Chain A
């Protein structure tokens, strides 16, 4: 991992600020009701309080009619706990759990098409081949944010045709 201040090999791979800046990022699991305006309300609350989204994923929650949003949010000049408190004010938000600093399972997913013929290095890192075609091989990889970042760096060395990367999903360890 590069030291703070040096340019990372790929901005895409390291989309989260590192080191000192990282301490301003909160990790939140937000349970919301499935309403047409839900994302507008959540993103609006984040924007107007001067916070900044560093990573987001949205998926159905265990409970029908609800979604779970996993957020990495920079709290800017506000007190760290303001992110949770401001989101909790929204009527659409059922619960906010702040997982920052907790012992968690955290995963991001990357799906990429690479030109490389030799995939061994990627497979050794844990990549799975999804399909092979004339214009490249499609692989997937999931792991912690840093591992995904390093994997993407590795991909760059192999020649990426296309790549898609998800936001984080985080689950508290039992």
Chain B
């Protein structure tokens, strides 16, 4: 019944790991050939693969794990998905219901351990809760503001489920009248008066800016966003997770915002008088020091599907609790006569774009990460998924991104989970076998989940791994250099495996690049190879991320790259 319910939900892949408390489910897996199970090498890998899968195709990722350590190994992956609103359903085994609370073998309070990192969770102790709970879980994970849902199923329930001779068919699955979740309410219509006021504020503003977050991509609202921006002549920046929501090469693009955002974006936000923020949480990485955020704004407009985001960090003057697509579509028709001085504002932004370009130092003869990424993006041409890890590699990959399509840049934004990229890239490849997938990671994060290379090799997944290897925890090293008195503490990663040999040990080809001149040939080799390929780019260990706002300072105080 559990597996049948998954089939009814249209599940294609399950990322999982069997163990004592989920054996009854695994016993019958083979009878459901539509459900393709990917055996990971660590449960954290399963959660990140499901996450990458969901972000790449929009369908919920599905995870299996056993009780105790198996389930607890999912916690970081659940948190990663929760922070970034990624739909996921995790099914964990639990000890038999009569053993609960007796500290049985591999028993842990999974609900207690995961309730702060899941949108909802269930513990199933009676068979009559199935399959309703499973269908509810998919409904909750995928609707409204998406998120991970965990179902903890006691082993005796799984056993009874497996032994049921003629499983009672549930009423047509996914029907709301069969659910028992009266407390789960989805936001309804857009407040049309609010939409009209937002349109008026944008039209009449002298210096308006729109910032777009992940919610725009989740809601597939990018064309509505572009239409509003063009109609109202308003420049658009994105958050790290909103990258792709607005074409980077568009004349109105401000590229990425926040404390590692572009200089012209920061200038625009800090000087704006009307700031509309769509599908985003306005967290500390966007605002830097909150008291110094957008100090000239007279009207904050906030659009988010989650009402609790209103006033959580910034109190908006106009709030629209709604799906981004519907809200943006409701605003555009009300855009009136544009403030006559708008041209001056746009010209000012163009001037800032010239004054504060993205740049990097390349005079020291070392391999620069930006050179690597520029070549990678040149090859990708808006038609490849790039999955980045966390740290300097993530920000470089974000800033040098040059696509015009949404949903193709995947990274752990809210949680900042190192080790995310490799398993998430494999999940993305399972989801989108038609698209090239590039995995960009630093060596520090890469070794945290490198065991999943086995999965890449086993399934011959065509994922190209771009290792930006600087022999240190680069972002931490940069913070220590710049903000902690230059004291380098525990950031040296000289003792790492030979990544070419490591890849070969897993059974996949790899190559090492130490000079600018060898970048193209290595990428050529990677592209020619079918299946996984790793390039160990030995980059300049002193390369830094710029612009950057010193920790605790306001956006105005951003630092730029030293002269090239």
Contacts and interface: CB of A to CB of B under 8 A. Distances in A.
Q: Are A and B associated in one complex?
A: yes
A150 to B, nearest CB: 37
A79 B315 contact: yes
B358 interface: no
Contacts of B497: none
Interface string B243-259: 00000000000000000
A40 B311 contact: no
A96 to B, nearest CB: 10
Interface string B105-132: 0000001100110011101010000000
Nearest to A84: B308
Nearest to A79: B311
A130 to B, nearest CB: 35
B308 A89 contact: yes
B182 interface: yes
Contacts of A88: 307-308
Given A41-B115, A44-B115, A48-B116, A91 B183 contact: yes
Contacts of B111: 37, 40
Contacts of B184: 91
Contact of A91 (B112, B181, B307, B312): B181
A44 B183 contact: no
B306 interface: yes
A36 interface: yes
A40 B123 CA distance: 13
Contacts of B307: 85, 88
Interface in B139-160: 140
A94 interface: yes
Interface string B303-315: 0001110111001
Nearest to A43: B115
Given A37-B111, A82-B312, A90 B121 contact: no
A78 interface: yes
Nearest to B136: A91
A132 interface: no
5 contacts: A36-B123, A37-B115, A91-B119, A91-B140, A95-B183
Interface of A: 32-33, 36-37, 40-41, 44, 48, 78-79, 81-82, 85-86, 88-95
Interface of B: 111-112, 115-116, 119-121, 123, 125, 140, 181-184, 306-308, 310-312, 315
